[in-house]
Amino acid sequence: MRFSSRMSGVRRSYIREILKVTQNPEVISFAGGLPSPDHFPAQAFAKAASEVLTDCGPQALQYSITEGHPPLREFISRRYKETWGLDIPMEQILITTGSQQGLDLMAKVMLDVGDEVLIERPGYLGAIQAFSLMGAQFLTADLVPGGVNLDQLAQRLRERPKIFYAVPSFQNPSGATYDADTRREVARLIEESDTILLEDNPYGELRFKGEDVPPIRAFMGSDKAALMGSFSKIASPGMRIGWIAAGPDLFHALVTAKQASDLHTSIFAQRVLHRFLETNDLDAHIAVIRKAYGERRDLMVEVIKREFPAEVRCTEPEGGMFLWGELPKGVSAEEVFAKAIERKVAFVPGLPFYVDGTDNAFRLNFSNSTPERIEEGITRLGACLKEVLARHASTASGCQCDAGAPLEI
Amino acid sequence: MRFSSRMSGVRRSYIREILKVTQNPEVISFAGGLPSPDHFPAQAFAKAASEVLTDCGPQALQYSITEGHPPLREFISRRYKETWGLDIPMEQILITTGSQQGLDLMAKVMLDVGDEVLIERPGYLGAIQAFSLMGAQFLTADLVPGGVNLDQLAQRLRERPKIFYAVPSFQNPSGATYDADTRREVARLIEESDTILLEDNPYGELRFKGEDVPPIRAFMGSDKAALMGSFSKIASPGMRIGWIAAGPDLFHALVTAKQASDLHTSIFAQRVLHRFLETNDLDAHIAVIRKAYGERRDLMVEVIKREFPAEVRCTEPEGGMFLWGELPKGVSAEEVFAKAIERKVAFVPGLPFYVDGTDNAFRLNFSNSTPERIEEGITRLGACLKEVLARHASTASGCQCDAGAPLEI
């Protein structure tokens, strides 16, 4: 096979491969980035689907326009206005087949082979994949308390990357959130630069502690930003409906790329989702999810504090679906993973979230496990961590030249 | 904006732009490539949606695997076996967001900028767009009675294009179909070449005259072909569900590219479609569509013979949704289009189906117009054609240097 050279740069999703290992129901998995199915509004969707097909069957099943179902785009535009006072007209909102497609389209319209993209460190794996597929080179700026390292950001922007990709609220994988001052400064730096901000916000509505903060875009006077969103975490990921909002030139290019990519997103799914949104109280639904996730997050933090060795530092996110852990330097999360699988507990080693081979971190998902499984799984994982760290301590104090498993990649 | 250079090679879909002109309900449009909504099984889908959400709600709304819903893939595999005796295991079938996504994925995994793709002349516009977006250069082989010009095909294959993209049954735009001997010879030429066959078959089930012919893939001993299919023309295009079948190496690459493109196709839409297929008689449904389209095609051919000037040659397809017309050399279909819009009748000028600027052909869709509108619209179009040809005849016999509208691009 004579594959394109772009394929050699793309790693098959590590996470999706891990998910296969964890399909055994005995394994307690904190690996998947899955919302809790307990809160999917299946009956409300059933009612919406039936109404859509009865009221406007042929239009829900015929080809449709690339830009997306206009009333759904109006709903999104109105919500930006009501929530943040942001003016994003529906004419600038393109419905995508999940926000992953927003990443694919941005990569297509912006990147030539070798072009630079600035991402957070650690960064969202799906973005690394989509940008890699179009031949991107990566620059990184570290995530730090309060958001992104602004000195690093300013420095990297001077290298004129085409895109800065940011997930400023409850980021995947780290759970990190930019505070308002950081957002304001990021907005200023972007407006002074030659770089477009691609702001992704799949988790922003899932805050269970602290104060909501507006998108970075709200601090900008220009439309030098594309803003992505998704219904995956607040309604259903299986529908595959997200969006990307952009100024006229970029919007036009994105529509052209989408035509060539899948013509349009399932109009059946779009209409069913829109009917659901029209006939249900989305905010009340989100409040239920926030409460449930907040309780699971609190429990996971509590059990971690009790069961994990003190050398392992974990974040305490104020929203979203993920906790991030860091091991002492030289201890690989892959080693912990191997041990954990033996004890039937799983997570995602941090390696695929870095473009520089860093491997001493890991991601834990708390949204998709019951309290019982969180209690039991984190306890098991604590035992694994103690065992691995003890082995490292004895190795360090004993024979330093022990070959063992490779600890750095 | 610093767009990627690949964007400069992509034309925004001409057809979708024309569709905007034709949204006026007074315009009789043969432009869109739309199936007839009269035959969308809206009530059967409503029942299927309700059953899916009641029986397995959370699984229909959660993230799912990239490869697609296994029972749907099994259905497709079984149908290949039952219809053609073709062994295509479900493990080699990837569900895509419409077959347009199959084109996007093939372009991604196969093409570097400047790589050559061999297409039919005229060729399917959506394929030209998807391949252009990844920087393809095009070679062409003419469509001729019985299929593709085999001498040209053999010659072009010696230039080692990476892909030969073929739509051998009731092609869009021409309605052309390869006969069995041509398919056998194409299969042989491909197996001797360095080129992969990408065989697209969205219309194959819509035959209303003559004998069904197996896919080219059925004449090949190897899996040096990818085979695309779609439920758009036999169930619903709005669901956006198609597939691509490929041997293990190519399949693996396509899955990796799909992960980066949209994670997976709406599992809600996949499950609803599968439930529909399981609980209804698809062949009986297709028989109804075949009959209706056959009647519309017969009527269109009949009115064309009565109303069009003899210099305009039209195909008489045995299936599918399209007729193809050719004007005398030097007469541009764009000129006819301008006249036709004045008389409130529309079609697609042939230009976007060529990569060499040919502009004296046009496409007519017959599936989506009632008999009354076919009768009236083709009569109007006949009058336009007579007028334009008369003007050319008088120009030709009179002042040859008349500037007029540019007739060649």
- ipTM given for this complex: 0.93
Identify the pLDDT of residue A400: 37
Of B35, B134, B262, the CB nearest to A104: B262
Contact B260 A162 (CB under 8 A): no
Under 8 Å between Cβ of B358 and B243: no
Tell me the pLDDT band of B23, cut-offs 50, 70 and 90.
confident
Torsion region of A344: left, alpha or beta (phi above 0 gives left; psi -120 to 50 gives alpha):
left
What are B34-90's pLDDT values in tens digits?
999 999 999 999 999 999 999 988 999 999 999 999 999 999 999 999 999 999 999
Contact B3 A110 (CB under 8 A): yes
**Residue A129's closest chain B neighbor by CA?**
B260
Q: How far is A342 from chain B (nearest CA, A)?
A: 25
Distance (Å, whole) CA A94 – CA A375: 42
Under 8 Å between Cβ of B379 and B396: no
Under 8 Å between Cβ of A188 and A216: no
Domain end among A229, A260, A279: A279
Distance (Å, whole) CA A200 – CA B179: 51
Distance (Å, whole) CA A187 – CA A182: 9
* Residue corresponding to tokens 């999104």: A76
What's the full length of chain A, in residues?
409
Q: In this complex, is the C-beta atom of A248 within 8 Å of any C-beta atom belonging to chain B?
A: no
* Segments in B308-403 forming alpha helices (H): 333-342, 371-397
The structure tokens listed for A224 are 């030098």
Under 8 Å between Cβ of B366 and B322: yes
Q: Best residue in A240, A254, A270, A368 to probe B by mutation, most B CBs within 10 Å?
A: A240
pTM (2 d.p.): 0.94
Distance (Å, whole) CA A396 – CA A393: 5
Q: In this complex, is the C-beta atom of B8 within 8 Å of any C-beta atom belonging to chain A?
A: no
Packing angle between helix B248-262 and helix A125-133, nearest 10 degrees?
A: 120
**Residue B223's closest chain A neighbor by CA?**
A1
Rounded to the nearest 5 percent, the helix, strand and coil shares of chain B are 50, 15, 40
Are A252 and A191 contained in the same domain?
A: yes
**Residue A111's closest chain B neighbor by CA?**
B4
* Residue corresponding to tokens 């209690």: A375
Q: Which residues 181-240 of B are in CB contact (within 8 Å) with A?
A: 194, 196, 232, 236-240
The bridge status of strand B225-230 relative to strand B242-245 is antiparallel
Are B233 and B275 contained in the same domain?
A: yes
Distance (Å, whole) CA A384 – CA A386: 5
Residues 6+ apart with CB under 8 A from A326: A312, A313, A314, A360, A361
Q: Which residues 372-401 of B are in CB contact (within 8 Å) with A?
A: none
Are B298 and B233 contained in the same domain?
A: no
Under 8 Å between Cβ of A387 and A343: no
Of B38, B45, B96, the CB nearest to A53: B45
Q: How far is A100 from chain B (nearest CA, A)?
A: 5
Decide: helix, strand or coil at residue B148. Answer: strand
Classify residue A369: in a domain, yes or no.
yes
| Contact residues on chain A for B231, CB-CB shorter than 8 A | none
Q: In this complex, is the C-beta atom of A23 within 8 Å of any C-beta atom belonging to chain B?
A: no
Distance (Å, whole) CA A333 – CA A350: 7
* Pick from B89, B204, B256: nearest CA to A125: B256
| Contact residues on chain B for A240, CB-CB shorter than 8 A | 97, 262-267
Are A265 and A383 contained in the same domain?
A: no
Contact B57 A46 (CB under 8 A): yes
Distance (Å, whole) CA A389 – CA A110: 44
Q: Name the amino acid, one letter, at B325.
A: G
Are A243 and A339 contained in the same domain?
A: no
Of B4, B13, B134, the CB nearest to A109: B4
* Residue corresponding to tokens 């001493």: A360
Q: Best residue in B13, B18, B38, B53 to probe A by mutation, most A CBs within 10 Å?
A: B53
Identify the pLDDT of residue A406: 28
Are A161 and A210 contained in the same domain?
A: yes
Backbone φ and ψ for B325, nearest 5 degrees, come out as -115, 145
Q: In this complex, is the C-beta atom of A21 within 8 Å of any C-beta atom belonging to chain B?
A: no
Q: How far is A388 from chain B (nearest CA, A)?
A: 32
Contact A58 B42 (CB under 8 A): yes
Classify residue B316: in a domain, yes or no.
yes
CATH number of the domain where residue B119 is located: 3.40.640.10
Distances (CA, A) of A214 to A73, A147, A166, A352, B310: 20, 14, 14, 29, 67
Are B290 and B359 contained in the same domain?
A: yes
Classify residue A51: in a domain, yes or no.
no
- Per-residue confidence of chain A (409 residues) as pLDDT tens digits? 789 988 887 766 666 667 777 778 889 999 988 999 999 999 999 999 999 999 988 999 999 999 999 999 999 999 999 999 999 999 999 999 999 999 999 999 999 999 999 999 999 999 999 999 999 999 999 999 999 999 999 999 999 999 999 999 999 999 999 999 999 999 999 999 999 999 999 999 999 999 999 999 999 988 899 999 999 999 999 999 999 999 999 999 999 999 999 999 999 999 999 999 999 999 999 999 999 999 999 999 999 999 999 999 999 999 999 999 999 999 999 999 999 999 999 999 999 999 999 999 999 999 999 999 999 999 999 999 999 999 998 765 443 333 332 222 2
| Contact residues on chain A for B252, CB-CB shorter than 8 A | 12
* Pick from B320, B312, B46: nearest CA to B201: B320
Centre a 10 Å sphere on the Cβ of residue B399 and count the other Cβ atoms it contains: 10
The structure tokens listed for A162 are 């085409």
Are A21 and A96 contained in the same domain?
A: no
Q: In this complex, is the C-beta atom of B250 within 8 Å of any C-beta atom belonging to chain A?
A: yes
* Segments in B193-311 forming alpha helices (H): 248-262, 267-279, 282-307
Are B238 and B304 contained in the same domain?
A: no
Are B321 and B365 contained in the same domain?
A: yes
Q: How far is A208 from chain B (nearest CA, A)?
A: 22
Classify residue A332: in a domain, yes or no.
yes
Q: A25 or B233, which is more confident? A: B233
Q: Which helix (H) or strand (E) holds B60?
A: helix B42-61
Under 8 Å between Cβ of A295 and A36: no
Contact B43 A65 (CB under 8 A): no
* Pick from B346, B377, B370, B354: nearest CA to B31: B346
Identify the pLDDT of residue A399: 37
Q: Best residue in A40, A62, A251 to probe B by mutation, most B CBs within 10 Å?
A: A62
Are B92 and B232 contained in the same domain?
A: yes
Distance (Å, whole) CA B226 – CA B102: 10
**Residue B129's closest chain A neighbor by CA?**
A260
* Pick from B105, B69, B46, B110: nearest CA to B257: B105
| Contact residues on chain B for A110, CB-CB shorter than 8 A | 2-4
Question: Number of A:B CB contacts under 8 A?
Answer: 262
Contact A42 B32 (CB under 8 A): no
Q: Which residues 32-61 of B are in CB contact (within 8 Å) with A?
A: 32-35, 37-38, 40, 42-43, 45-46, 49-50, 53-54, 57-61
CATH number of the domain where residue A16 is located: 3.90.1150.10
**Residue B17's closest chain A neighbor by CA?**
A65
Distance (Å, whole) CA A341 – CA A363: 15
List residues bridging with B138 in a β-sheet.
B117
Are A233 and A303 contained in the same domain?
A: no
Identify the pLDDT of residue B407: 25
Classify residue B204: in a domain, yes or no.
yes
Contact B104 A259 (CB under 8 A): no
Distance (Å, whole) CA A323 – CA A174: 6
Of B66, B109, B126, the CB nearest to A4: B109
* Residue corresponding to tokens 């803003």: A227
Classify residue B401: in a domain, yes or no.
no
User: Considering only A216-220, A221-225, B326-330, B354-358, which range has the smallest mean pLDDT?
Assistant: A221-225
| Contact residues on chain B for A256, CB-CB shorter than 8 A | 7, 10, 12-13
Under 8 Å between Cβ of A65 and B237: no
Backbone φ and ψ for B83, nearest 5 degrees, come out as -80, -45
Q: In this complex, is the C-beta atom of B83 within 8 Å of any C-beta atom belonging to chain A?
A: no
Classify residue B404: in a domain, yes or no.
no
Domain end among B248, B279, B310: B279
Backbone φ and ψ for B309, nearest 5 degrees, come out as -65, 150
> What is the total count of domains within chain B?
2
- Computed over its alpha carbons, how large is the radius of gyration of chain A? 22
Q: What's the domain range around A233?
A: 63-279
Domain end among A217, A252, A279: A279
**Residue B253's closest chain A neighbor by CA?**
A7
The structure tokens listed for A13 are 């999703």
Distance (Å, whole) CA A383 – CA A388: 9
Q: How many CA atoms lie within 13 A of B270 on its CB side?
A: 33
Q: In this complex, is the C-beta atom of A274 within 8 Å of any C-beta atom belonging to chain B?
A: no
Buried b (16+ CB within 10 A) or exposed e, A331-361: bbbbbbbebbbebbbbbbbbbbbbbeebbbb
Identify the pLDDT of residue B396: 55
Contact B249 A1 (CB under 8 A): yes
Identify the pLDDT of residue A264: 96
Mean pLDDT of B91-116: 97
**Residue B136's closest chain A neighbor by CA?**
A4
Cα angle value B253/B258/B264 (rounded, 5°) = 135
Classify residue A24: in a domain, yes or no.
yes
Of A129, A132, A260, the CB nearest to B104: A260
Decide: helix, strand or coil at residue B35. Answer: coil
Under 8 Å between Cβ of B140 and B119: yes
